[in-house]
Structure 1
């Protein structure tokens, strides 16, 4: 079984191709940021000469880790899984790190969670966030192996001489945890980020350049859409919509496309067909910038009101649209392919 493993959850980025338990190719780099730019080239290198169609599953770390980093790896894994129609297996970060440990006996994985807390998992348990003192109180007596970014601090605070520090790698390594996912039973739904605490601070807004585009950008629009949504559209779908005609715009931060919006207008009514922000740039003002610019454009073309349909379960999107002036106008039950309801929202442009 061929498996592609990915990790962008912490201060490293890695990809590996496994054929059963044999590592065919791997790439690993320590980095505090830049995972979004590094991951795709890594995947291309480990897959060199091997068709993606030969893959039978994808494995990816789900967190806990950095908020943006976790979503970068998940986004690529889910996009590949969807396009290749193969399962995507999620593995939590602490269990992934445990694959680096050698030896037998109890194993504690502990990572720094900041604010005097740690993420902890003993013997493959579900990770939990807790104070270090609480973790120490739960440890069994006798030798316990310890690995993770908070390993040294925990041992120093313990006052115990039976905690054995494992010094291989305190970060997930795709080539090592991939084998753990070879025969894991896939879930019915794609893996989701595992966040155990809220972000410490709101990310800073990006310096954006907004560009109108047409049919020539169909492939890029499709790539962005697949990164943003589990059921991403292909380039053919975008070409069809652009021929309606619809209007497309891409937001770019530096050299990286980070968002898009697609709208259409009939007389004095406009509709936002789809809008998305790349996971690596979420919560940094991309969608709001696209919406504000599009409202100005639509007013200039004589539009009086603008509509958008939003999944009733998508609380973040509903809050965003309400914050820019949309109000709920109706409900379409079972509107989406998965059976979810859609809320119809409207914003007056005059």
Structure 2
């Protein structure tokens, strides 16, 4: 079986063409980089195809890492794999980043792969000596992840040194393998996998962050990414982090399949902080939902996000935008007032939760 494998989830761009009947990859490349994956990936794959001597029609499968990793990096690899896989009519196999990294270590001892997830969190997965997945991938505090490891476990990943120091355990040993996915190593995982449709990105960020009590630094360096059905699982995570009753990924996927529906995600240094979902019909639009992760609320994120989406709607010919907000939701009403929304009506008993009914204000803004 001939497999094209690619990774753009972390601080490198990697690709390889592997014939599972051969001992060595037919062609491989690994380029460390923090940014520029989108520009580097296609030329890298083209070069490897020429180097391998294969035609695209001879590729049997595509293996792609699905995360966890940077939001933009995950999307770049998945988008490329989907486009090429659909064009060639071949299976696309998603490999989680921790399983991919596990293939970098020799099969001699149990292995714990841990990746830095910021704020004392790590992404973790435990493998046995034959690299069979035992636990994870999951999001955990660094100290808790160390408790997953049996005696004489190898550590690998961007958070491995931190975890060993925090644990204080002398029996945990550092692997000499690469802390980043290497396409030439994890490609063979795709040969054993059962095709299951188009792979989805893997987001593990839990909805358990607590808001800070002190004054918060305003975020001035946001960038905005258009979301689509492929990011439904991320939107579900962000929604659950902002609301008591989170919407499912299936619900977001269904909404984004409707004509005129669009979503935008606000990010800081590649980390998704907030999202907005709107629906347009002719020259009018409505905000369906808007949410900001708890630790990033009251930092000016939502106001910038609304402004960015309104600019996009205005450019598409929208003249008026509407939304509903609970009458008791004073913070949201204050936010919408800041960006120019005014009251346009009242909907009685619009919100119904656990037997409790509440009116909704209809707000309007002319663009």
Instruction: Number of aligned residue pairs: give it.
Output: 239
1:78 and 2:82 are equivalent in the alignment:
yes
Relative distance call for 1:202 and 1:93 in structure 2 (3 A) is farther
1:39 to 38, 41, 47: 41
Relative distance call for 1:202 and 1:62 in structure 2 (3 A) is farther
> What is the correspondence of 1:61-140 to structure 2 with a 5 Å cutoff?
61-123=65-127, 124=133, 125-140=135-150
Relative distance call for 1:38 and 1:289 in structure 2 (3 A) is farther
Relative distance call for 1:349 and 1:202 in structure 2 (3 A) is closer
Could you tell me which runs of 5 or more consecutive residues in structure 1 were left unpaired when the two chains were aligned. Answer: 207-226, 231-268, 272-282, 305-322, 326-346
**Aligned match of 1:24:** 26
Query: What's the offset of the Cα at 1:126?
Result: 2.7
**Aligned match of 2:234:** none
Query: What's the offset of the Cα at 1:204?
Result: 2.7
Query: What's the offset of the Cα at 1:288?
Result: 5.7
Q: Deviations over 1:239-298 (max 9, x none)?
A: xxxxxxxxxxxxxxxxxxxxxxxxxxxxxx789xxxxxxxxxxx89987655422317xx
**Aligned match of 2:8:** 8
Matches of 1:16 and 1:5, distance apart in 2? 5
Query: What's the offset of the Cα at 1:2?
Result: 1.1
- The TM-score with structure 1 as length reference comes to 0.60
1:192 and 2:238 are equivalent in the alignment:
no
Matches of 1:54 and 1:106, distance apart in 2? 36
1:293 and 2:293 are equivalent in the alignment:
no
Q: Deviations over 1:131-157 (max 9, x none)?
A: 1111122322x2101110111111112
1:177 and 2:174 are equivalent in the alignment:
no
> What is the correspondence of 1:236-255 to structure 2 with a 5 Å cutoff?
none
CA RMSD of aligned residues (A): 3.6
Q: Deviations over 1:301-333 (max 9, x none)?
A: xxx9xxxxxxxxxxxxxxxxxx9x9xxxxxxxx
- The TM-score with structure 2 as length reference comes to 0.57
Spell out structure 1 runs of 4+ moving beyond 4 A.
198-203, 227-230, 283-290, 347-350
**Aligned match of 1:204:** 222
2:171 to 142, 145, 162: 162
**Aligned match of 2:162:** 153
1:143 is paired with a residue whose SS is coil
Relative distance call for 1:348 and 1:152 in structure 2 (3 A) is closer
1:89 is paired with a residue whose SS is strand
Matches of 1:288 and 1:86, distance apart in 2? 39
Matches of 1:72 and 1:284, distance apart in 2? 25
1:126 is paired with a residue whose SS is strand
Q: Deviations over 1:20-51 (max 9, x none)?
A: 15410111111111111111111111111422
Could you tell me which runs of 5 or more consecutive residues in structure 2 were left unpaired when the two chains were aligned. Answer: 128-132, 210-218, 231-281, 285-304, 321-338, 342-363
